[in-house]
């Protein structure tokens, strides 16, 4: 009888061990598939993050810069970041479910629990990567609202200058009202994550420039030449102040803000796929 019982226990242990190994293998395959899906999104996320480098192009005074095209590109960047945020949430939800399943399965896989632990660690790294990616994408959406407002104001200023130089002061006055709306919005958004204090100061100075330009335009419409000359001096002073900002330094500071999070994303993805 004892021998029979012992035999049953041995057979049971073998079945348990065999089942555990098979189940561990199934979970490993499931982990690979889920991580594969997450990693497949890495290139699109990195592409979205790389757009950070080009955000200050408008401020460098390049003669080839087209503010209206910049508005379009920024809007595309914001849309990509919004899509990325949705993708990240979906991927993290899948990884969280898998993580719970792996943790609950250790008692079933005593023989194969080392592989379960290894897969759990990989999933943990992937979720850390997604946490960093979510922060970057969310910040980029907020920053994008600033860049949209700033670039829109620069585009409006181009239109305004053309109208004013062509003598169409009535249309220029209408355009100026929109410039003021855009610049005020840019000032409001200029403290978004990752934007250095100098950029806020620059935007406030742009707001002053637009205000002084408005006074000059009003004087031109009124035919008050003396006031026009006085206001023109203020506008020139504002323009010189705007030109004094170190745009390269601003760009470097923006990149420095995001670099640790991007590096963390890439390193955690690397650990998840090792």
Q: 218, 257, 252: which is closest to 235 by C-alpha? A: 218
Looking at residues 237-258, what average pLDDT do you find?
87
d(CA 82, CA 140) in angstroms, rounded, equals: 9
Confidence of residue 117 (pLDDT cuts 50, 70, 90): confident
Q: Does residue 102 register a pLDDT over 80?
A: no
What does residue 111 show for φ and ψ, rounded to 5 degrees?
-75, -35
Backbone φ and ψ of 61, nearest 5°: 75, 20
How many residues in the chain? 274
Instruction: Identify the burial level of 3 via C-beta atoms within 10 angstroms of its C-beta, where 0-12 means exposed, 13-18 middle and 19 or more buried.
Output: exposed
* pLDDT value for 204: 95
Q: In whole angstroms, what is the distance from residue 23 CA to residue 179 CA?
A: 64
pLDDT at 18 over 50: no
Average pLDDT score over residue span 227-236: 87
| Lowest mean pLDDT, pick from 4-18, 43-57, 64-78 | 4-18
Mean pLDDT within 27-51:
62
CA geometry: angle 63, 67, 70, nearest 5 deg: 110
Share of the chain above pLDDT 90, in %: 20
Q: What is the pLDDT of residue 8?
A: 38
Q: Flag whether pLDDT at 255 surpasses 80.
A: yes
Average pLDDT, integer, range 257-270 = 88
Res 35: pLDDT:
66
Residue 260 tokens, joined: 């640790």
Q: Using alpha carbons, select from 144, 132, 153 the residue that is nearest to residue 193.
A: 144
Question: Is residue 11 scored above 50 in pLDDT?
Answer: no
Q: What is the pLDDT of residues 19-36, one digit of tens each?
A: 343 444 444 555 566 666
CB atoms within 10 A of CB 236: 12
């Amino acid at each position: 009888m004892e021998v029979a019982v012992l035999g049953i226990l041995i057979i049971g242990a073998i079945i348990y061990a065999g089942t555990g190994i098979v189940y561990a293998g199934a979970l490993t395959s499931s982990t690979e598939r889920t991580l594969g899906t997450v990693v497949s999104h890495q290139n699109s996320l990195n592409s979205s993050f790389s757009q950070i480098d080009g955000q200050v192009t408008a401020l460098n005074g390049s003669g080839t810069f087209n503010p209206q095209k910049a508005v379009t590109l920024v809007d595309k960047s914001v849309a990509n970041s919004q899509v990325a945020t949705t993708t990240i949430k979906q991927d993290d939800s899948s990884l969280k479910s898998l993580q719970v399943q792996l943790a609950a399965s250790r008692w079933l896989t005593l023989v194969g629990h080392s592989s379960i632990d290894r897969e759990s660690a990989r999933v943990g790294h992937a979720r850390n990567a997604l946490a960093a990616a979510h922060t970057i994408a969310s910040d980029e959406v907020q920053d994008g609202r600033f860049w949209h407002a700033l670039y829109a104001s620069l585009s409006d200023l181009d239109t305004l200058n053309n109208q004013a130089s062509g003598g169409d002061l009535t249309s220029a006055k209408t355009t100026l009202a929109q410039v003021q709306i855009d610049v005020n919005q840019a000032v409001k958004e200029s403290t978004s994550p990752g934007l250095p204090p100098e950029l806020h100061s620059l935007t406030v100075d742009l707001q002053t420039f637009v205000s002084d330009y408005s006074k000059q335009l009003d004087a031109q419409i009124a035919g008050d030449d003396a006031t026009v000359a006085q206001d023109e001096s203020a506008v020139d002073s504002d323009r010189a102040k705007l030109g004094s900002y170190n745009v390269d330094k601003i760009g470097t500071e923006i990149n420095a803000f995001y670099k640790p999070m991007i590096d963390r994303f890439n390193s955690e993805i690397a650990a998840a796929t090792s």
